[in-house]
Amino acid sequence: MAWTEQTTNAAASNVVTLAVTSGDLIFVGLGWGSGTLADLTSISDDASNTYTLLTGAADSGNSQASRGGWAVAGTTATITITGNGIGGFSFLNALAVSYREAGTLSFVDQSTGFAVFGTGTDAVTTGNVTPAVDDLIVCFTQNTGFGALTINPGTGYTLSVANAANPSRLCLIEYKIATSASAQAATATHSNNSEEALFVAVFNGTGAGAPTTTIVTGSATAAVGIAETYTYTLDASPAGTVTVTPTAPVAGSWSPTTVGLTSGNWNTGLTSNFTASAAGSGNIASTNDGGLTNDTLAVTVYSTSRPSAVTPNTWTDEAGGSLVVADINDASDSTGAKDPAGASYPVLAFTMDTPMAASVSQTCYFRGDNVAAGKQVRQVLFANDGTTVVATGAWKTMTGSLATYSDVLTPTATAYKGEIQTQAVPSAVYGVIWPSNPDTNSDVRLNWTGSASVSRTAQTIIWKANYAQQDGYYAVWWRLPDAASSFTATEWHFGTHPWPGSTSVNGAGEATGGTGSTGTVHQQEIATIGASVDYLTSPSAANGGPFTVTKGVWITSAATVEVISGTTLRHTYWPDISNTTSFIRQDRTLASLNTPTSERVVFGGSPWTADDPTSGKNSESASGTFRYWKMFSAALSITDIATEAASESDSAVTTAGIASAFYSNINPTPTDVTDKSGNGNDPAWANSNRPTLYTG
């Protein structure tokens, strides 16, 4: 038998894509927020593969279900798989894996499991299944607990894929190859003592044959003088040892020059490093002593010019407009630049002998020389002024000295200069997960009152949000004149939230197509400011909109209030500050602003819908994950807002921000929402209910 994992994918949806090869076993695991297995009516894909549903496990008391299915791929393609009938439920997760075995595939056995408050190693378990030796055992498990969760494979199991999108509904697919024909259960390890549902299936692949092909994987680009690693495997287990001799399309050296593949390593493979001494293109391939077909990998080897020594800030190195190669040294290449934690880390600046053309994608290599592992490193390319950024690579965590990294960069304008930048690995980020209405204990509210309430006439509030789907009204930020338990639409009432309804508006920007407590589609709004009105745009939609809310993605929002010419009170709301010219603006007469009796800023729920429909619930909740709360006692420009929002620091960074900093907590947690700006403007919880913790 020769089962091997091939491809994996996960999505916070009932739809997931997967690259498959004809004959592969496709295993799909689905989790959703209902307690009825029959809600999943079928599984299908756009390649017309036929799926057999597995039994699954459900928990009606906690609204969770786990079920999946399997199919044999009939074609080689990237397919889109859909769990039918569950698209409207919350907490959707779809995981898919393909496995391969050289024989004829068949289904053997299945079982399910459910544990209440199962926590610890192997505490979560299915019923027994009975495989044959070398059968494939695959298990899907889901944990419905909230907060900081972890789930891991059980003893003897290997992780295939896990989700990361729904922190309150974690799930994974694990597998192992049976080593005995005895009855056995699938197990998983959960950190959270909550409810867990899981199911397991066994598959057999009879008639596995001897290997027929060598397989090579690795980078499709290389550079002269830089070692690239290539991995060689076989398509099945050999009886003895197959000696593979790597080959390349250009001159160079391999280390080692041969690799020996056996029954113990044929699927994990062995590696050989190729260092080219000449540029060119062709196929990385091999020869072998087993009479097998040799796989090939197309590769392009770029030429480079390397300096004899690196001189900080003056080094020029460019290979014909094709490739930048940089060495950076901890000891000598520091320019005094600061990383996000305030420490000094080296930055190597360089000027290109041949500028990189705009809109042309090029592979840029760099490596660390005497750089400690664990730092992060990236490339940034500049226009000729040395300050205008035209391309930025992703931060990469360094694995040690002389490790090689690369980016495919496409400059937006001609690139003349660049930097190799390093920094400390950033700390984890935190946030709070607000419940949906009307979940149990969904009346979660924060109040800034008295002197801790930012000025109603001069303020900026910035926040980052990832909204979760819910029906009806959201309540995110309210600026209120009192603690009244009933709603009164005064000039002081100013809200910025998603609102249920269509994009229909009148000339003043007022919404005309509300759908109320059953609405599922939402638009961003400025609420009230003097009337029971929801403003989806500026008057005559002068600044764009309406702005339909997309759930499940992070956005950064901001709102300001300022007095114009001494008489006009201006409210501006940017639903997504990445679109700086798209906002909602509504002006009011300053003289009409009523006098507050107990002014406050409220986050997370409307006070007048507390204990609705029953005690502890709120029918207007924030529903989503939130972090990065900053307040200023002045209306910042959108340029300053964007700069403040880009800084992962509780300290203000712009001149205007430093002068007006009022409150900051960029990593709020359920146990710490205190002011980190140094001004002491701490909020207070309205009751004993709390959000749950988000860790990013």
- Shared domain for 254 and 353, answered yes or no, is no
Domain match, 556 and 619 both: yes
User: Strands, E, within 219-346: which ranges?
Assistant: 221-223, 227-234, 242-247, 252-255, 259-261, 270-276, 280-288, 293-294, 297-302, 315-316, 325-329
Query: Is it the case that residue 343 has pLDDT exceeding 70?
Result: no
Residue 229 and residue 173 share a domain: no
Report the mean per-residue pLDDT for the chain: 84
| Domain boundary residue, one of 273, 302, 331 | 302
Nearest CA to 340 among 85, 598, 87, 648?
648
Which band of pLDDT confidence, cut at 50, 70 and 90, is reported for residue 304?
Answer: low
Q: What is the mean pLDDT of residues 676-690?
A: 95
| Domain end position, chosen among 267, 302, 337 | 302
Identify whether 309 is part of a domain.
no
The verdict on residue 359 lying in a domain is yes
Do both 482 and 336 map to the same domain?
no
| Better pLDDT: 313 or 63 | 63
3-state secondary structure of 628: strand
End-of-domain residue from the set 423, 448, 463: 423
Alpha helices in 311-447 (DSSP H): none
User: If you average pLDDT over residues 184-199, what whole number do you get?
Assistant: 75
pTM: 0.46
Q: What token pair was written down for 268?
A: 């994990």
Of 244-258, 331-345, 594-608, the poorest mean pLDDT is in 331-345
Residue closest to 457 by CA, chosen among 602, 256, 319, 596: 596
Structural domain including 120 reads: 4-206
Please give the torsion angle defined by the CA atoms of residues 316, 321, 326 and 332, in that order, rounded to the nearest 10 degrees.
20
494: pLDDT strictly greater than 80: yes
Cα separation, 229 vs 268, in Å, equals 14
**Structural domains of the chain, count:** 4
CA dist., res. 166 & res. 147, Å (int): 11
Is the same domain home to 166 and 232?
no
250/330 same-domain check: no
The pLDDT, as a whole number, for residue 69 is 94
- Report the Cα 150 to chain-centroid distance in Å: 16
In a domain, 328, yes or no: yes
**Between residues 120 and 52, the one the model is more confident about:** 52
* Higher-confidence position of 207 and 43: 43
DSSP H or E run through 643 = helix 638-646
The reply to whether 386 and 436 lie within a common domain is no
* Cβ-Cβ contacts under 8 Å for 265 (sequence gap 6 or more): none
Helix intervals (H) in 257-383: none
The model's confidence at residue 385, banded by pLDDT at 50, 70 and 90, is confident
307 domain-assigned: no
Domain shared by 202 and 227, yes or no: no
Residue 121 falls inside a structural domain: yes
Contact between residue 352 and residue 417 where contact means Cβ atoms under 8 Å apart: yes
Q: Note the pLDDT of residue 425.
A: 67
Does residue 345 carry a pLDDT above 80?
A: no
CATH number assigned to the domain comprising residue 269 = 2.60.40.10
Query: Which of 497, 602, 637 has the alpha carbon at shortest distance from 557?
Result: 497
Higher pLDDT, 304 or 61: 61
Same-domain check for residues 599 and 648: yes
Range ranked top by mean pLDDT from 87-91, 212-216, 357-361 = 212-216
pLDDT for res 324: 37
- The amino acid that residue 601 corresponds to is V
Sequence-distant (≥ 6) Cβ neighbours of residue 141 within 8 angstroms: 66, 124, 151, 171, 172, 174, 188, 190, 196, 197, 198
DSSP tag of 638: H
Q: In this predicted structure, what is the pLDDT of residue 317?
A: 31
Compute the C-alpha angle 597/601/603, nearest 5°.
140
The per-residue pLDDT for range 580-607, each reduced to its tens digit, is 999 999 999 999 999 899 999 999 999 9
Q: Beta strands of 537-658 (E only): which ranges? A: 555-564, 568-574, 584-589, 600-603, 624-632
Give domain status of residue 361, yes or no. yes
Identify the weakest region by mean pLDDT among 399-413, 500-514, 644-658: 399-413
Domain co-membership, 91 together with 157: yes
pLDDT of 348 reads 67
For the CA atoms of 550, 552, 553, 555, the dihedral, rounded to the nearest 10 degrees, stands at 70
Start-end of H helices in 446-510: none
Higher pLDDT, 143 or 252: 252
Token pair for residue 606? 């409307």
Among residues 455, 461, 487, which one has the least CA distance to residue 590? 455
User: What is the arithmetic mean of pLDDT over 396-404?
Assistant: 63
| Same domain assignment for residues 563 and 487 | yes
Cβ atoms of 63 and 119 within 8 Å: the answer is no
User: How far apart are the two ends of the chain, measured CA to CA in Å?
Assistant: 40
Confidence of residue 384 (pLDDT cuts 50, 70, 90): confident
* Domain membership flag for residue 28: yes
Structural Rg of the chain based on CA atoms: 29
In which band, very low, low, confident or very high, does the pLDDT at 305 lie, cut at 50, 70 and 90? Answer: very low
Which residues, other chains included, contact 633 with Cβ-Cβ below 8 Å and sequence gap of 6+? 454, 455, 458, 459, 660, 661, 662
Q: Is residue 38 part of a domain?
A: yes
For the stretch 435-452, what's the b/e string if a residue is b when 16 or more beta carbons lie within 10 angstroms of its beta carbon? bbbbbebbbbbbbbeeeb
If DSSP states are collapsed to H, E and C, what string results for 13-75? Answer: CCEEEEEECCCCEEEEEEEECCCCHHHCCEEEECCCCCCEECCCEEEHHHCEEEEEEEEECCC
Tell me the mean pLDDT in the region 29-43: 90
Q: Which DSSP symbol is given to 394?
A: P
Percentage with pLDDT > 90 across the chain: 50
- From 52-66, 242-256, 395-409, 533-547, the region with the lowest mean pLDDT: 395-409
| 28, 139: one domain | yes
Looking at per-residue pLDDT, the higher value among 112 and 502 belongs to: 502
| Domain CATH number, residue 534 | 2.60.120
